[in-house]
Amino acid sequence: MAAPAAPIDFWFDFLSPYGYFASTRIEELAARHGRSVRWRAFYMRGIMQEHLGQTRPFLEVPLKGDYYKRDVPRMARWFNVPFKSGGLANFISANALRGFWLLHDLDPALARRFAREIFEWHHVRATPPNTPEQVAQAAANVGLDPARLDIAAAVQQPAAKARLRRETDAAVAAGVWGTPTFVVDGEMFWGADRLPLLDDWLRRGGW
Amino acid sequence: MAAPAAPIDFWFDFLSPYGYFASTRIEELAARHGRSVRWRAFYMRGIMQEHLGQTRPFLEVPLKGDYYKRDVPRMARWFNVPFKSGGLANFISANALRGFWLLHDLDPALARRFAREIFEWHHVRATPPNTPEQVAQAAANVGLDPARLDIAAAVQQPAAKARLRRETDAAVAAGVWGTPTFVVDGEMFWGADRLPLLDDWLRRGGW
């Protein structure tokens, strides 16, 4: 009996609208090729600062920032998904990312629903879920029983911080430097606009 | 009588393999939509240093540089074009870019053949055409009569340098910050991997 095909790793930070766009497509794409998806949250700002030497806020980079501002709503229309941003600079995603991993330890399916909820708060409802209380509300919205986990308190604990740091280190170890990034069978694709290429790669078995 | 559709501006520096890949597809893509292509050379390193604040050689950026090195040959296979790089760090494209504009003043079709030739020297034959003499050889290869223009001498003149600077300023004024970039009807697309989106934009008349 053949081993099942390896999953697609979907590396993301909630911060990027491109990650949100990709999150609406990746499950369907993977299923078409008989693959599952591992959702793997990491802290993008940590990689930018510690590894890429990018300290200037992206939107303030001349020319590039302007392109981004125009490209994002255009890509939302291309993906045909609702979009209203809470503002790149207004969202500190650390609490939500820690919350993702805490929920993942309880139930990966719940963590996935939470991830979709967080993407929606920031990129559809223009409400950056920054605080532990907002994270707890988002978790409750998708079915976390508060008796099971006090997530607002837990995201502020050293253990939750260390966990996100380990996952971010794992991203770096896998070669990830941007969000979203997809890795399958050791092959890496960066960016929502590379989804058609990932699709082609899986269809043809590489090229 | 309707005015003819506006051309697609194809902004490029010879340096990037993605620009080479795109150069093999853009004329056919444009023709399919009844558009012509204006080939517009600019000096990418000038924009990186003066506008983007990027002074570190790209290949030395951790993680990103590794992704690039793996992505480039993969994209060459995806575009199904021959590829053997002369090395990103080995090519100073300024003389070739100046040569492009000198030839463009004589004959845009000749300049276009020259551009293809330069792309091929660096990205297929692994021979970075750095020197004025190499630029002159490349121009001769595509039909420049040396009696018409001593291009090896001309690329070193202040007028040729000023011309490339003006064209690079025009790129910046158009919002260009990377190569290749395509602009049509005021809409900008960066990257060879955005060619399918440019195609879709023209097919649907925007979205």
Give per-residue pLDDT as tens, B21-76: 999 999 999 999 999 999 999 999 888 888 777 777 777 888 889 999 999 999 99
pLDDT value for B88: 86
Residue in chain A closest to B49 (alpha carbons) equals: A62
Residue A44, both tokens: 């993008």
Residue in chain B closest to A171 (alpha carbons) equals: B63
Chains A and B form CB pairs within 8 A to the count of: 62
**CATH number, span A8-204:** 3.40.30.10
8-state DSSP, A6: P
Lowest mean pLDDT among A48-52, A189-193, A197-201, B116-120: A48-52
CA distance A165 to B64: 20
- The mean pLDDT value for A145-164 works out to 97
Using a CB-CB cut-off of 8 Å, the residues of chain B touching A207 are 74, 77-78
Q: Smallest Cβ distance to A172: which of B63, B172, B193?
A: B63
Q: Do A77 and B207 touch (CB under 8 A)?
A: yes
Residue at A113: amino acid letter: R
Q: Smallest Cβ distance to A193: which of B53, B188, B193?
A: B193
pLDDT at residue A1 greater than cutoff 80: no
Using a CB-CB cut-off of 8 Å, the residues of chain B touching A11 are none
pLDDT tens column, A92-145: 999 999 999 999 999 999 999 999 999 999 999 999 999 999 999 999 999 999
Binned at pLDDT 50, 70 and 90, residue B2 comes out as low
pLDDT at residue B207 greater than cutoff 70: yes
Q: Do B53 and A51 touch (CB under 8 A)?
A: no
Q: Do A52 and B63 touch (CB under 8 A)?
A: yes
pLDDT value for B1: 54
**In angstroms, what separates the C-alpha of A60 from chain B's closest C-alpha?**
10
Say if CB B129 and CB B148 are below 8 A apart: no
pLDDT value for A178: 93
List all residues of chain A from 121 to 140 with a beta carbon under 8 Å from chain B. none
Say if CB A33 and CB A202 are below 8 A apart: yes
pLDDT value for B61: 83
Residue in chain A closest to B201 (alpha carbons) equals: A78
- The mean pLDDT value for B152-167 works out to 98
**In angstroms, what separates the C-alpha of A205 from chain B's closest C-alpha?**
13
Residue at B164: amino acid letter: L
pLDDT value for A53: 76
pLDDT tens column, A61-78: 889 899 999 999 999 999
CA distance A184 to A33: 12
pLDDT value for A47: 86
Helix (H, G, I), strand (E, B) or coil at A36: coil
Q: Do B63 and A175 touch (CB under 8 A)?
A: yes
Residue A102, both tokens: 């805490």
- The mean pLDDT value for B181-189 works out to 97
pLDDT value for A2: 66
pLDDT value for A72: 96
pLDDT tens column, B86-103: 988 899 999 999 999 999
Q: Do B53 and A74 touch (CB under 8 A)?
A: no
Say if CB B19 and CB B180 are below 8 A apart: yes
